[in-house]
Structure 1
Amino acid sequence: MATLALPTLRQAPRPAHQLVLCLFRSSPSPLPSLALSAPALPTYALPSLANLVSDTLAGLRDLLPPILWAAPKSRTTHSAKRMRSAHKGLKERQNLVSCPGCGAPKLAHHLCRECYASFRREIHRERAEVGASPEEKIL
């Protein structure tokens, strides 16, 4: 039995970017605001909302360049990270001073590491003499 080719009422779906270009095609008008105010296609030629949404989602990949969809395929290796940061050396510290209490080098406007450690040892020793547990806070 022979099949009859019936004419379809629907056209093939257009990509979203072509639809947008057709809708907002500027006509030669002296006022640019009026050129974009009316669609170039009649309203009966516009696809339904469901077709527009599906075309928009399908055409989204066409609108965006492939570089935006790129993703790393594997982790950056340790050696690649080291090679990338090879020219970045440690900066010299200019704000080193000697501690007035013990004479050890320290950063300006910071606590001395040696003095802080001795202070903590003193506090723990006093707490042990009093019999307080280390978890209790002394105000």
Structure 2
Amino acid sequence: MALRLLPFAPANMSRPLLSESLQFLRLSRFLPITPIATSGFLQPVSISLNLPSLLSDLWDSVLRAVPKKKTSHMKKRHRQMAGKALKDVKSLNKCPGCGQIKRAHLLCPNCVKGRI
């Protein structure tokens, strides 16, 4: 994908080499141009990016990233009615009457069952 976005990258360029060249291009914006850097083999190379074609390629991929078919009623219902994960009960106490474990701020079911 990255090879296709860069018009100056050859087709047989390896991914590590491509990533290094992209990193150099990002960092080269912040480097000052000095006479030493412009002489010899370090002369900056002008890169012309064809932005309209680059944007059209991106826009085509955005337009293709849509659902191909309508989600069926059955799939929607399965998604809505799926079993939800239960939350852990963290507020547990011992009942002072019978010693059984009960939820805090609620009556002990064991004691209530014995009185009915």
More helix by share: 2
Bigger Rg over Cα: 1
TM-score, length basis structure 2: 0.31
**Which structure has more RCO (C-alpha within 8 Å, separation ≥ 6)?**
1
TM-score, length basis structure 1: 0.26
